[in-house]
């Protein structure tokens, strides 16, 4: 029962594996995946290709589009903001930026960006998108260009959600992760914060009560992509044998589409029924986007309900630990940061040299290697994220495999193999820091982003 689509896809995958530096092939594979609504996988294909061709515009656009379709809007934005800031930005980048801005409820900026895109390349005009932006109804006033829940619905439909998929009982799969803090390299400070702030209160509830110490509230992690936020959230659950519920922004959007407060309540109830339980909100900025029109629309309602569930107003949240992560803390509604909510905000930087050694060690575990000079590798991989380090190892493994297939002689991986893989990879955190730097320099209220300035060694 071979599905012909799958057969074609497998052939493409194979081709890309053999020629990972071929841009056209990678692009074709990713586009095929996008057609099959497999946006996360498409994003992975683009990320891999970008390792071979850092900064390639076509690939960056593809990656941004994949993120958009996977509803990872802040990731898409991070790439697009850099592309459109260039001197003569490609028209496709402007159009895509407009779509993402629209997805975030920034209709007015979306319209401006769309107009720029069409000015640059009239062939890009898109009637369906214009109607979403409220552009093609001449009789309507400017006001009508405001985003409405209905226009979001269209957007969500386009992203492949189906209202009928909504399950009234529960949204997220309850996992019981087996990874623990030790499986996550470095991140010593963040681990310590998680222990003190949420694990100890859970394990020593009576002691905290005896001293009248109020418990509650969660931890918000922010930082560049691929540096272990999601992994650490999962490991927190593993560390204390708790259940793990991961809530992506798409789940929350589904709730809005379903227009059902009951659903959101059920989700928190699911966590409360399964205590101890770690609830992880990924890309929480998209839910509380302060820039978005959600403030004014029914989305505001959803945020308020979310906050009161978090506060445990009607039911208590004992035994439920809340973690959240974002790449774009500056988009987060400040109501999320009040005491008792995500009041502990932690910067998760790229791993330092020591952590890089640990991550490389973890990535190489179980693979045939000679004695590897990890210190030397760590010294050459400043600014690499954990994910980047993993792909360095992957790249070295692939090269080795190709040789082994050709010669029929499998050989262990050497430091030299890894060093040449490092040369072919580029740290992916640079883009994030170029955006973050501006926020830290120009909207650093109360020194919230001092850790970013410190990391960048900018005096304050
Ligand atoms: N500290 C680390 N130790 C071991 N592996 C790591 C570490 N950081 C990242 N990785 C590797 O990189 C992958 C991506 O990390 P993860 O998904 O946790 O990043 P993230 O910070 O959540 O990124 P994003 O902001 O894109 O969601 C992990 O699955 C893991 O393989
Ligand atoms: Mg993550």
Phi first, then psi, for residue 324 (nearest 5°) are -140, 155
Task: Indicate whether residue 350 lines ligand 1 (CB < 6 A).
Answer: no
- Taking residues 404-408, report their average pLDDT: 87
What spacing in Å lies between the alpha carbon of 144 and ligand 2's midpoint?
A: 36
User: Would the CB of 386 count as within 6 Å of ligand 1?
Assistant: yes
Average pLDDT over residues 221-250: 90
pLDDT value at residue 147 = 34
Q: Whose CA is nearest to atom 18 of ligand 1?
A: 228
User: Is the pLDDT score of 100 beyond 70?
Assistant: yes
Helices (H) and strands (E) in the chain, counts: 23, 5
CA–centroid distance, residue 350 to ligand 1 (Å): 10
For ligand 2, the distance from its centroid to the CA atom of residue 179, given in whole angstroms, is 15
**Is the predicted pLDDT of residue 192 greater than 70, yes or no?**
yes
| Separation of alpha carbons 51 and 391, rounded Å | 8
14: how many CB neighbours lie within 10 A of its CB? 10
Instruction: Please identify, by atom number, the ligand 1 atom nearest to the C-alpha of residue 233.
Output: 18
* Mean pLDDT within 108-121: 89
Closest ligand to Cα 246: 2
Average pLDDT over every residue of 27-31: 91
How many percent of the chain have pLDDT more than 70?
84
pLDDT recorded at residue 296: 47
Best mutation site among 189, 386, 389, 436 for ligand 1 pocket (most ligand atoms within 8 Å of CB): 386
Contacts of 322 (CB under 8 A, 6+ apart): 198, 217, 218, 219, 278, 279, 281, 310, 342
Residue 71, pLDDT above cutoff 60: yes
In the structure, what pLDDT confidence band is assigned to residue 73 with cuts at 50, 70 and 90?
A: confident
Band (88; pLDDT cuts 50, 70, 90)? confident
Cα–Cα distance for residue pair 391/263, rounded to 1 Å: 38
CA of 307 to the centre of ligand 1 (A): 27
Which pLDDT value is given to residue 231?
A: 94
Half-sphere exposure of 420 (CA within 13 A, CB side): 9
- List pLDDT tens digits, range 164-191: 333 445 556 888 999 999 999 888 989 9
- The per-residue pLDDT for 384 is 96
What is the atom index within ligand 1 of the atom nearest the CA of 282? 27
Do 380 and 419 contact (CB within 8 A), yes or no? yes
Pocket test for ligand 1, best of 73, 188, 231 (most atoms within 8 A of CB): 231
Q: Which of 414 and 317 is assigned the larger pLDDT?
A: 414
Strand-pair partners of 332: 289
Rounded Cα distance, 412 and 410, in Å: 7
- 286 has pLDDT over 90: no
For residue 451, which of 344, 323, 353 has the smallest C-alpha distance?
344
CA 408 to ligand 2 centroid distance, Å: 39
Q: Check: CB of residue 12 under 8 Å from CB of residue 29.
A: yes
- In this prediction, residues 146-167 reach a mean pLDDT of 36
Q: Is 186 in the pocket of ligand 1 (CB under 6 A)?
A: yes
**Would you state the pLDDT for residue 198?**
86
Cα of 250 from ligand 1 centre, angstroms: 20
DSSP 368: -
Residue 429, token pair as written in the block:
């955190």
Across the range 258-267, mean pLDDT stands at 68
Q: In this structure, which residue's CA is closest to atom 6 in ligand 1? A: 386
Ligand nearest to the CA of 72: 1
* Domains in the chain with CATH codes: 4-154 (1.25.40.10), 174-347 (3.40.50.300), 353-426 (1.10.8.60)
Higher local confidence (pLDDT), 282 or 137? 282
Range in 141-155, 338-352, 440-454 with the lowest mean pLDDT = 141-155
Alpha-carbon distance of 327 to 331, in angstroms, equals: 9
pLDDT on residue 16: 85
Instruction: Provide the pLDDT for residue 253.
Output: 57
- Pocket lining: 184 vs ligand 1, CB cutoff 6 Å: yes
Tokens in use for 24? 């056209």
pTM above 0.95, yes or no: no
pLDDT-based confidence at 254, cuts 50/70/90?
Answer: low
Report the C-alpha gap between 458 and 460 in whole angstroms: 6
Tokens of 274: 């399964």
Chain mean pLDDT for the chain? 82
> Ligand 1 test: best mutation among 230, 238, 285, 427, most atoms within 8 Å of CB?
230
């Amino acid at each position: 029962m071979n599905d012909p689509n799958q057969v074609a896809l497998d052939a493409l995958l194979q081709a890309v594996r053999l020629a990972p530096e071929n841009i056209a092939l990678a692009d074709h594979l990713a586009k095929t995946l996008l057609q099959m609504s497999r946006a996360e996988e498409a994003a992975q294909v683009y990320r891999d290709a970008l390792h071979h061709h850092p900064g390639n515009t076509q690939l960056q656009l593809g990656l941004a589009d994949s993120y958009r379709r996977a509803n990872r809007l802040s990731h898409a934005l991070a790439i697009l903001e850099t592309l459109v800031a260039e001197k003569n930005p490609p028209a496709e980048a402007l159009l895509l930026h407009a779509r993402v801005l629209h997805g975030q409820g920034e209709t007015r900026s979306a319209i401006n960006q769309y107009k720029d895109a069409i000015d640059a390349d009239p062939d890009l005009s898109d009637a369906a998108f214009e109607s979403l932006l409220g552009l093609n109804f001449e009789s309507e006033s400017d006001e009508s260009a405001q985003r409405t829940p209905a226009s979001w619905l269209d957007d969500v439909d386009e992203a492949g959600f189906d209202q009928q998929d909504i399950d009234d009982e529960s949204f997220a799969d309850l996992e019981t992760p087996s990874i623990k803090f030790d499986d996550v390299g470095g991140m010593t400070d963040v681990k310590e914060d998680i222990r003190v702030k949420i694990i100890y209160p859970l394990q020593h509830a009576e002691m905290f009560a005896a001293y009248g110490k109020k418990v509650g509230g969660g931890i918000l992690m922010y930082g560049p992509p691929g540096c272990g936020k999601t992994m650490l959230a999962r490991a927190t659950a593993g560390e204390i044998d708790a259940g793990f519920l991961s809530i992506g922004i798409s789940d929350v959007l589904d709730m809005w589409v379903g227009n059902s407060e009951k659903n959101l309540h059920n989700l928190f109830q699911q966590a409360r029924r399964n205590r101890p339980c770690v609830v992880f909100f990924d890309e929480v900025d998209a839910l509380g986007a302060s820039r978005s029109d959600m403030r004014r629309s029914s989305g505001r309602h959803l945020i308020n309900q979310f906050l009161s569930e978090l506060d445990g107003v009607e039911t208590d949240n004992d035994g439920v630990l809340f973690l959240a992560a974002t790449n774009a803390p500056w988009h987060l509604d400040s109501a999320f940061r009040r005491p008792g909510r995500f009041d502990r905000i932690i910067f998760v930087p790229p791993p330092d040299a020591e952590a890089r050694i640990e991550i490389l060690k973890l990535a190489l575990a179980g693979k045939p290697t000679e004695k590897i000079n990890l210190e030397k590798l760590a010294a050459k991989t400043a600014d690499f994220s954990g994910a980047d380090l993993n792909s360095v190892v992957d790249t070295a493994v692939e090269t080795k495999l190709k040789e082994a297939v050709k010669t029929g002689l499998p050989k262990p991986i050497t430091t030299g193999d890894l060093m040449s893989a490092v040369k072919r990879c580029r740290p992916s955190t640079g883009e994030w820091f170029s955006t973050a730097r501006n926020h830290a320099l120009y909207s650093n209220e109360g020194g919230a982003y001092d850790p970013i300035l410190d990391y960048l060694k900018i005096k304050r």
